[in-house]
Structure 1
């Protein structure tokens, strides 16, 4: 019953066909023909009204062929063929809805998961359930087990585990501690947690994702518009061929037979379905493609440009090595130097302080209590840790105040943090912002996907930039860049389209100026993500290659579907023109052509058969390791 209500024209067509079959079985051929004729003309009239509406919207061609085919088959007495054409028309709508539903499965899942209610705490009152739209920044919320986080906010509970797969594509649960940012749309684990809202529902991460996805679904790619234009010459060609067949055969049935196989109603649905499927597949992998036209640009990318910090690198320096001074006090090991430095850095606001503390904790070193501390802006910090006085900072700060100072052996792309203990130079912490572990493999994968030139744009020094570029296998480097310099550099590139990958606010201008702007890990980089055409929700560089792969695969499927449908229809039309395809057989064959093109378009939901990225959009680990071995300089 639900299907009948959902597709009433399909149901009524099947009912009309059943009535015609019963009448023919009873020997009532005139009544059967009259029933089929009346019903087919009624549907033709209905489609004519739709066709006129489409004419005012600038789209025409396919319905004209269908209506003419119905009328011509009735004129020559092929009323069974006319019923099959009507079934093809009405069934085409049902097939389109099915294909659209399959293609937009992931997009619909995003909408269905949108939080609608929240549990708000107010002083002196019990927790109340309120519409998510009423939440304001600063409200304290309770998120129960397995509930969706309603708005962006900060965790108040000591710890919590959250499923962020619908936002980032990351399948493993993510653990957060007190003060960490929670994204709306993530799913709480098995324990209730408290949080404070930092944004309204409309301004939260999940709402922005839904808005981007809706924008992408509503946009029309150049290939889709091209498919629409095929309708005009296809219609003209069909009428000319049908007229020529009638003229030379002197048989009006030839005219009807040609038009019967020239009515591929769902044919031009194939391209939009393929693009929706590609967009949906990308969303499942944590890649938000803002408009369908970007998919086509991704498929043709020839130059890939990268920012350095936070894109090719993690953007947070890590401890590379510890150089212990030859004149250091006895018992001053590398771990002891790190422990004292990290303890002193607890009192520092410098950006490197957190990296030093993380390095100590990762080695299981306990941080010592700080009795007193004095930070020297941009230079370093002096602190009394336990019973020892520790100096941590630049060589120019620590060197003059300690005895036995030694200049650190620092390579290109590295930074030295000097450490002094009780007036004696102890050693140097060598810090570096390392290349992402999958950067080499991602660059190699982009080369396989058709990218011919790579470039690094960064505000860092030439030596640091060249070091990172050499590690990654990037061919061109432009260092010491301001945002305006990056825009100018991208504009001068000749091998286009140009894909630009960045992550920070300073990357927003160049992302907007490039042919395809990709914002990396855009949980917090709002300006970058708003300027970009592609937003990668997970901090995973391999998703860049995955986006290009999805674009290429989608375009290939869309064009294959369009041309497969057209060529098969033209072949059937030629056969019908010679009288080899009777009207009824032609109508059935055309149904198969339509079905084949739609199902082929839905292949864009799956991953390409070429090795490179898995179904989640990541470069597989074994392939990452192989590519890293093969391509690392």
Structure 2
């Protein structure tokens, strides 16, 4: 049954085998003329079919690599080598099956991600009862935010949720590449796609299925699978030179020997399978390997670009820093109380997506302060938020932004690595909230690795104030800082950076435009679905900047394997063609040998699934200091 399924899946190779066997039988029963006609007719049909596909490729802007195979088939028929022409047809049609097998092997880890997608959720019927485990099974798409779910042992968590059980253990390897199970406590977030441990747990859904982590990964995987253009472009670069060299060698052999058969004997060794199959297999292997380590790349074009990256730009907050600023001081002014300022600011920051807003809200909740609703609110990107809270006009944001509405706003004195949110109420300066966000422990090592691996220019692009930005930059080893930038200014700077290609790394909604504008946009996507993840070319699923090194390393290894596979195929083909010019390789033997060349290049291309482990240098975060050595560019 499995054999029949294979025959049905590949009708071209099935038909070719049947024709080949029929020709051999006809030759065996002393009917070679009929066998010749059968072979010639079938090959002619295959040539026309191939020509149609080749013309279609040319019209789409891609070089028709099959021209060599077409010429070889016609040439072998013309000199009476119809068995060789059938072998060429078998090689080309068999290439489809070989590519399919190698492709499925190469993207095995991508397919595993899709196969593990949650489909059913157990909604507790009596959620208020700690004793009742009666559930109602619903499709995962129908789970409402706030629903209480039961996740049984070894089941997949269906949606992102908050753990209600006292503790639990989860396998997050499909999300992060981390092989060891992780422990979660009550109140911790549990991500969809992780596998529950040995005890049943309860979770409260905090995101719908569409917005949950695993569905975002699935969407990214589909985007990666749907991208084939880069592989074609890579093959196109070699197609015309290889075709020209092959035709020159074949023509020279014919001219020198005076035998038309020599032309066919050379060309049967010039089929383009290494270009058509080996490169795509290598790129699929790279995508799969990256997914296994917790990095999703949206197609082979990204692999090629990230392998060649020469400049890198980093956002500060949440990218180079840990992205969890903690409130360290409340400095009220003009008679306002500390808790009053914090309550009004945190209430307004409910309507902001900025990472400082999250820190302010967490601080208010930790102090037991009730957050108030807003009659209306709006956020000004990178500047701040304006809201009407309890009948009062509250503004929270940068000093210049707040000062435009409250002229008595006074700048606060901050320590290095600190940031401030300024607050105004009803046109009066109300105080300053001081927060601290420390650099990621791995950030300095990542920057050091990039510098020693041909990334010639590394800069920071941030909307934060100059002294704070420069302090973080110094601690992680970046000497060029562009601070106090609006999103359009980040985009403009990314477009101007040299040398190219330029890689931009960020994590916030405000980073989405510059991620989309850079040659390669990399989003730190571990904290859930964001516009940054949608706009980026690479999404890091683990909350670790070290995965950026994995992404660049995998990209370079994959491109190196793809190019080497192509050169192996081309080198062997040209070497064999030179030998065939002497008449030592008959057409039939040449066609069979070329099949071995194709197999060798494809097997080599599968090396993209592996590769050396990347070891970061032993760099540490430098102590904070006053800005006196970096090049700082301030907006305005």
Counterparts of 2:67 and 2:484, CA distance in 1: 61
Provide the residue aligned with 2:45 in structure 1.
Answer: 45
Contact preservation (8 Å) 2:54, 2:64: no
Equivalent residue for 1:164, pick from 158, 167, 172: 172
Contact preservation (8 Å) 1:521, 1:536: yes
In the TM superposition, residue 290 of structure 1 has moved relative to its aligned partner by: 1.8
Residue 466 in structure 1 maps to residue 466 in structure 2: no
Point out where structure 1 has 5 or more consecutive residues left out of the alignment. Answer: 321-344, 359-366, 374-408, 417-429
Residue 298 in structure 1 maps to residue 306 in structure 2: yes
Question: How big is each residue's C-alpha offset from its partner over 1:166-223, in whole Å with a ceiling of 9 and x where there is no partner?
Answer: 1122223233333433322111111222233344433332222112112122213445
Counterparts of 2:360 and 2:98, CA distance in 1: 60
Counterparts of 2:239 and 2:458, CA distance in 1: 40
Provide the residue aligned with 1:494 in structure 2.
Answer: 498
Provide the residue aligned with 1:590 in structure 2.
Answer: 594
Residue 535 in structure 1 maps to residue 543 in structure 2: no
Contact preservation (8 Å) 2:157, 2:192: yes
Contact preservation (8 Å) 1:297, 1:515: yes
Point out where structure 2 has 5 or more consecutive residues left out of the alignment. Answer: 128-132, 329-341, 347-356, 371-412, 421-433, 626-636
Counterparts of 2:88 and 2:473, CA distance in 1: 61
Counterparts of 2:115 and 2:294, CA distance in 1: 17
Counterparts of 1:469 and 1:590, CA distance in 2: 55
Secondary structure (helix, strand or coil) at the match of 2:522 reads strand
Provide the residue aligned with 2:568 in structure 1.
Answer: 564
Equivalent residue for 2:444, pick from 440, 444, 458: 440
Where do 1:219-230 residues align within 5 Å? Answer: 219-222=227-230, 224-228=232-236, 230=238
Where do 1:114-133 residues align within 5 Å? Answer: 114-122=117-125, 126-133=134-141
Contact preservation (8 Å) 2:123, 2:148: yes
Contact preservation (8 Å) 2:213, 2:528: no
Counterparts of 2:594 and 2:152, CA distance in 1: 54
CA, structure 1 residues 584+549, in 2 after alignment: closer, same or farther (shift >3 Å)? same
Contact preservation (8 Å) 1:160, 1:177: yes
Provide the residue aligned with 1:283 in structure 2.
Answer: 291
CA, structure 1 residues 158+630, in 2 after alignment: closer, same or farther (shift >3 Å)? closer
Question: How big is each residue's C-alpha offset from its partner over 1:13-62, in whole Å with a ceiling of 9 and x where there is no partner?
Answer: 566666777888xxx47446854762574255245324414423435644
- The answer to which of 452-461 and 295-304 deviates more is 452-461
Provide the residue aligned with 2:94 in structure 1.
Answer: 91
Larger radius of gyration: 1
Contact preservation (8 Å) 2:169, 2:184: yes
Where do 1:191-210 residues align within 5 Å? Answer: 191-210=199-218
Counterparts of 1:475 and 1:166, CA distance in 2: 37
Counterparts of 2:52 and 2:202, CA distance in 1: 58
Counterparts of 1:437 and 1:509, CA distance in 2: 27
Equivalent residue for 2:524, pick from 520, 526, 535: 520
Counterparts of 1:629 and 1:131, CA distance in 2: 47
Equivalent residue for 1:134, pick from 142, 145, 155: 142
Residue 262 in structure 1 maps to residue 253 in structure 2: no
Normalising to structure 1: TM-score of the pair?
A: 0.75
Counterparts of 1:285 and 1:146, CA distance in 2: 22
Residue 149 in structure 1 maps to residue 157 in structure 2: yes
Residue 251 in structure 1 maps to residue 259 in structure 2: yes
Secondary structure (helix, strand or coil) at the match of 1:160 reads strand
CA, structure 1 residues 68+531, in 2 after alignment: closer, same or farther (shift >3 Å)? closer
Secondary structure (helix, strand or coil) at the match of 1:588 reads helix
- The answer to which of 203-212 and 278-287 deviates more is 203-212
**How many equivalent pairs are there?**
541
Secondary structure (helix, strand or coil) at the match of 2:510 reads helix
In the TM superposition, residue 71 of structure 1 has moved relative to its aligned partner by: 4.4
Secondary structure (helix, strand or coil) at the match of 2:255 reads helix
Secondary structure (helix, strand or coil) at the match of 2:273 reads coil
CA, structure 1 residues 481+351, in 2 after alignment: closer, same or farther (shift >3 Å)? same
Contact preservation (8 Å) 2:46, 2:89: no
In the TM superposition, residue 500 of structure 1 has moved relative to its aligned partner by: 1.5
Secondary structure (helix, strand or coil) at the match of 2:204 reads strand
CA, structure 1 residues 206+314, in 2 after alignment: closer, same or farther (shift >3 Å)? same
Where do 1:91-490 residues align within 5 Å? Answer: 91-122=94-125, 126-222=134-230, 224-228=232-236, 230-232=238-240, 234-235=242-243, 237-317=245-325, 412-413=416-417, 432-490=436-494
Question: How big is each residue's C-alpha offset from its partner over 1:234-283, in whole Å with a ceiling of 9 and x where there is no partner?
Answer: 44554454344323322121122022112233532222222211111111
Residue 578 in structure 1 maps to residue 572 in structure 2: no
Counterparts of 1:44 and 1:185, CA distance in 2: 52
Counterparts of 1:241 and 1:352, CA distance in 2: 70
Question: What do you get for the CA RMSD once the two structures are aligned?
Answer: 4.1
Secondary structure (helix, strand or coil) at the match of 1:591 reads helix
Contact preservation (8 Å) 2:505, 2:521: yes
CA, structure 1 residues 56+456, in 2 after alignment: closer, same or farther (shift >3 Å)? closer
Contact preservation (8 Å) 2:474, 2:622: no
Normalising to structure 2: TM-score of the pair?
A: 0.74
Secondary structure (helix, strand or coil) at the match of 1:553 reads helix
